[in-house]
Structure 1
Amino acid sequence: MTKARSRRQDRPEVILDAAESLMRRSGERVLTIDAVAAEAGLSKGGVLHHYASKDALITALAARKVARMRAGIAENLAVQPPGPAALPLAVLAQARDLYADECGFPDALLIAATGNAEAVAGFREFLAERLSQMGAIEGRPGAGAALVFSILGLMLSRSLGFHRLDGPELARLFDALDAQARNLAAEPDASRSA
């Protein structure tokens, strides 16, 4: 494969990297095809060849983010002790990592994606997978969903600027979620014993 052909095949990733870089620095409002082209060192036509519109670009960014979240959960799962708490702890560890991302891209992407049905569909599918997986391991009906929605509420409220928890306050919150994750499968369903 020639060097020029290899560079052309890498262009979709270069374009997505440029878009992500722009959003990290300045938020979702600066995401235009022209700005992405300039950031990537490509022509506008070069960007449009791979992503026919801003919506297509946002959809691709969202798909890449979901793939990274799935990979992060899988990596975190691989280091958990085996048992029913492994998946909840891996999901929580990925949420900690995402919350610690101080560069603003997850927030900007989420805000940009809200107006894009395809991008939102990718996030919905990811959430449905987490809820299904957590429901399959939980010891009490609804406990896994409660953990997932607790994490989601924390992330969304940060993205929307409702809060910015730091230091001991954030540590206490994540410790409480960690305890909930550890107890998820350990606690018997009270309705079954009644």
Structure 2
Amino acid sequence: MPQTPPPPQTLRARKLQRRSMETIGQILTATIAVIERIGVHNLTIDLVAAEAGVSKGGVLHHFPTKTALIVAAMRQDMETLMMEIDETADATVNFASALAQLARRVALEEGGVSPAFLVTAAEIPEAASVLATMFSTLVERAGKDDKAGSIDSTLVLFASYGILISMGMKSFQPSAEELAALLDKLDAFAARA
């Protein structure tokens, strides 16, 4: 018996879906902003709702628990970083250079990896899993990018990670000139990978 295709989505349904996706985006962006401002331990659904400009019920409709909200926000943040790496790698054809360029941007624009972000990953196992999955993916991709007998892309990945975490934790606070020189060397090394 032939199956009939599902009816086309109505204009109203598409508008509702688009609005729902926009609301989710606002909520996740607000979650990251609240975590950055006051930390994961002080985050509440009420604060996220106020930051996003939606009701508490609107947040809970999409994210039934605080943990689900935090994990979804971290996942979105990681996916955004991965897309940035992919776009840069497509433009440069060199995964190591894409990593070095991302490290430069995060170091200069954000001052490294946010301590609040690291605390979130340390305190919430599900959030740590998101971070671990992303890092495993990056290690795998760096390994594929490495030429036979070389680990250059993998070294760029670990160097970038070390720089960004150290800066975020304030254990490495180079002058602007020192940071520029370090990032220039990382770029040059990555270009040869």
Letter in 1 for 2:70: I
Aligned residues: 180
Q: Deviations over 1:14-44 (max 9, x none)?
A: 2112212323444444421121112122222
Structure 2 unaligned blocks of 5 or more: 1-10
Distance 1:105 1:19 in 2: 16
Q: Does the 8 A contact of 2:146 with 2:153 survive in 1?
A: yes
1:128 to 109, 125, 136: 136
Structure 1 unaligned blocks of 5 or more: 185-194
**Structure 2 partner of 1:43:** 55
User: Which range moved further: 2-11 or 106-115?
Assistant: 2-11
Distance 1:4 1:129 in 2: 35
**Structure 2 partner of 1:109:** 117
Q: Deviations over 1:89-139 (max 9, x none)?
A: 011111212223338884422321222222222221221222222222324
**Structure 1 partner of 2:161:** 152
Tell me whether 1:7 sits opposite 2:16 in the alignment: no
Distance 1:150 1:68 in 2: 21
Superposition pairs for residues 68-83 of structure 1, below 5 Å?
Answer: 68-80=80-92, 82=93
Letter in 2 for 1:71: M
Q: Does the 8 A contact of 1:28 with 1:112 survive in 2?
A: yes
* Percent sequence identity over aligned pairs: 30
Q: Deviations over 1:134-171 (max 9, x none)?
A: 22232444333222111111111122221233411101
Distance 2:15 2:146 in 1: 52
Letter in 2 for 1:74: D
Q: TM-score, normalised by structure 1?
A: 0.79
Distance 1:24 1:96 in 2: 20
Letter in 2 for 1:13: G
Letter in 2 for 1:89: S
User: Which range moved further: 147-156 or 22-31?
Assistant: 22-31
Deviation at 1:60, TM superposition (A): 0.7
Secondary structure at the aligned position of 2:123 is classed as coil
Deviation at 1:172, TM superposition (A): 0.9
Letter in 2 for 1:23: I
